[in-house]
Chain A
Amino acid sequence: MDAGLLGQFVANGMMLGMMYALVAVGFTLFFGVLDVIKFSHGDVLMVGTFAGFSAYLGLSAMGIDNVFVQLVGILVVAVCSMAFLGAVIARYLVLPLKSAPPLNILLITLMLGTVLREAVRLFFPDGSNPKPFPYLLPTDTWSFGSFTLRADSVILLLGGLLVIVGVHVLINKTKMGLAMRAVAQDEETAKCMGINFNMIVLLTFALGSGVAAFAGVMNGLYYNEINFSMGLLLGVIGFSAAIIGGLGNIYGAILGGFLFAALQTVGAVALPFSSAYKDVFAFAVVIALMVWRPTGLIAEKSSERV
């Protein structure tokens, strides 16, 4: 295999990994502050993508065809509406059940995911058919031998990286991040220190859901096709990525996302059997990893609570 080809596989895998990582970050944030698993995360991503798509249709209908304005419009609508939805879910479904067994929250969000998915399928016009997502990024390509790099992929990768860096800065360098970390470490003590616990939980859910919406729009721009069930597999993969990375640890989630993408690529490329089994291979490795490191590759520092 020549270097150009290897480069191509790496570039494809990076793109996939970035999307998985962004989804996994959400899972890990929710688990970090509240020790809950929100299974509707993938479907929130899908609703965000459709919200962005609706914004595009709206802007086009108003006659605004400036690509930059459309792009910003899609992103703002998708991210803001999902941040709001995330906070609403936290306020009305997750917080009231805080002291119930974690299984209840898992179930309730699992059902919410189905409701969101079916609602888009039934109520979005012609929602059960795939929708062509617009091409809004420059499509210039650079070829280096057998390696083709596209401008839109580079922009999307940089965008994803920027979001991850942004989340990192938010959590480690701001007061709000400090409060989140405090809540994650010890809820009672954080409350005693005057931190508004409910507010921090809402903000965390808004943040995670907004990041998911960004990942959804990224997915749409990359594949130029969206459908109502796109969030389902992305949710499962994002969750697995968060788990193998170490639930509750942001860097673990990012590592997990890229690891999963790498596994899928290896499964499709390097293994002798049919590429249809690449997901089987990737999930089998995830299972093996979980047996080997039950707390994930990078375990959450405060996982041993008393």
Chain B
Amino acid sequence: MSSTNRTDVFDEAPLLERARAGDARAFTELVNRYERRIFRLAKHITQNEEDAEDVLQETFLKAYSHLGEFQGQSKFYTWIVRIAVNESLMKLRKRKSDRMVSLDETIDTGEEMVVREIAVWDGNPEQRYSQEELRQILEKAVDSLRPPFRTVFLLRDVEELSTEETAALLDLSVPAVKSRLLRARLQLREKLTRLFKRKGDDVFAYL
């Protein structure tokens, strides 16, 4: 499995060219590079391991079939993220039941942005916790966000799509993406600060 998971540290144009020409090994290399991130994204959106497996498979099968349509204006990774998000949303729609909150649920835009925890963090959590502990903390925090906030946060701040790309993909307006992202960021900041703050440093909440 690839040790690199960033989309911007290597030039993958030659690899893509080979994959497009039918070189199966080149395509497999692209899959190995991105399967972990696509699986993580699908798990966060669907909140279901089996669905995430299906999404992972469908994403790369579709990517292979439609490789000729990928024109290279966006990064290959952004292109497969789009496929994976669409597949994940389809899963959600199919499985829509009472316990699932729809991604299109109406957001009360009048809701205040509350900031309760104002405290500096105690050192660097990345040094204080193991990768595994940190992963569990962060994944739990993301999964506790309401779906409309969670998906926008994942696409903008984890997968690094632009506001416009996120809006188009989720069929939202640009202001809606911005407002959801702000809430998501503040909520995550709040959750992490509760865990990572320096003890005795609490300041009265404001707003």
A, B co-complexed: no
B interface list, Cβ under 8 A from A: none
A interface list, Cβ under 8 A from B: none
